[in-house]
Amino acid sequence: MTYLIACDLDGTTLNHQGEITEKTKKVLQLLKSQGHLIVLATGRPYSGAIAKYQELDLDTPLVTDNGGSIENPKDPSFAKQRTYIPVAMMHDIFRFSKPFIVTTFFSIDDVVYAYKYDKKLEAFFSGLTSSKVVEAEHTAFDVEPTGLVYLIEADKQEVFEGFIRDRFGHTLSTRLWGVDNGAAVYEVYLKHISKSSAIKYLLDYYDMTNEQWIALGDGINDVEMIRDAGLGVAMQNAVPELKAVAKRITERTHDDDAVAHFLNDYFQLNAF
């Protein structure tokens, strides 16, 4: 049976240094040579994922922006799929949140649109670079984002979540990534869009069934993908919410080649 193997990047396929080890590369390329479809599914923007895609020498579609973007860098005939938050919604969220924003941004391709841009963000959000930042209030932007990242004052979490829920609950959702140094980190995204929705689109595109879908991840943004996959696999280093919905949990972490060892054993590759 041919499988579509959806791999998250950070905390899963990559080690904590952001690298693909030779062992992981060997296993994924071996599976590709056997006809399986290796699909990277990441929260990174396209600019932060394309180098890893090229390093693995993939030819499949690339899922970025947590499912907001699907495109095939090797196949111009593949129709690029992008789903956007309407500009009016983006403006309303900014106007409401402005008094308690620490920083907020979104990216389109390799351009970052930001308010109160903090260069330290580049260490947390791969693919961001201050060399391509357009900085202004979001109400000055007339481009539609696939998603938004908001760092707000931590004591305004209920206010922020309540506004999104009450005003745009039919369209948008929030995902809390954590609280650090008095700032709560939120992702604002279209509620029908996720890594899972993107992979389901690709299953339909390739005429494959859910049983042919293996997914591997570690983060809160992987929950839908791991929950919905025929075989959803959580890393040993995954967040508790992900482990709760996974069908399997690796014995190793991303720093110990968890993806390589799991797939090597599952497919009996004897790669090492």
Q: What is the DSSP string of 55-103?
A: HTT--S-EEEGGGTEEE-TT-TTSPPEE----HHHHHHHHHHHGGGEEE
93 and 77, same domain (yes or no):
no
pLDDT of residue 118: 81
**Within 10 Å of residue 224's Cβ, how many Cβ atoms?**
22
Read off the pLDDT band of 32 (50, 70, 90): very high
Residue-wise pLDDT for 115-160, tens only, equals 998 876 665 666 566 568 899 999 999 999 988 989 999 999 999 9
Locus of tokens 């899972």: 196
Which residue has better confidence, 114 or 47?
Answer: 114
CATH code (residue 223): 3.40.50.1000
pLDDT of residue 180: 85
- Tell me the residue type at 95: R
> Rounded distance, CA 18 to CA 151, Å?
23
pLDDT of residue 108: 83
pLDDT of residue 237 exceeding 90, the answer is yes
pLDDT of residue 67: 94
pLDDT of residue 131: 66
185 and 93, same domain (yes or no):
yes
177 and 202, same domain (yes or no):
no
Residues 262/28, Cβ–Cβ less than 8 Å: no
pLDDT of residue 221 exceeding 60, the answer is yes
Q: What is the DSSP letter of 222?
A: G
> Rounded distance, CA 235 to CA 233, Å?
7
User: Domain containing 229: what range?
Assistant: 4-81+193-266
30 and 76, same domain (yes or no):
yes
180 and 91, same domain (yes or no):
yes
Question: Roughly what angle, to the nearest 10 degrees, separates helices 157-168 and 87-97?
Answer: 150
> Rounded distance, CA 54 to CA 82, Å?
21
Please state the domain count of the chain: 2
pLDDT of residue 232: 98
* H or E segment to which residue 117 belongs: none
Listed residue (271, 222, 187, 247) closest to 7, CA to CA: 222
**Of 190, 218, 246, which residue sits at a domain end?**
190
pLDDT of residue 250: 98
SS3 241: helix
104 and 238, same domain (yes or no):
no
> Rounded distance, CA 62 to CA 49, Å?
8
pLDDT of residue 126: 60
Which residue has better confidence, 97 or 46?
Answer: 97
Alpha helical stretches, state H, the chain: 22-33, 46-55, 87-97, 121-124, 157-168, 195-205, 223-228, 240-245, 258-266
pLDDT of residue 199: 98
pLDDT of residue 21: 96
pLDDT of residue 218: 97
Give 188's contacts (C-beta < 8 A, 6+ positions apart).
85, 93, 147, 148, 149, 150, 164, 172, 173, 174
Find the mean pLDDT for residues 179-183: 89
Residue 177 lies in a domain: yes
Residue 272 lies in a domain: no
For residue 142, with 0-12 CB atoms within 10 Å meaning exposed, 13-18 middle and 19 or more buried, which class applies?
exposed
Residue 111 lies in a domain: yes
Residue-wise pLDDT for 112-125, tens only, equals 899 998 876 665 66
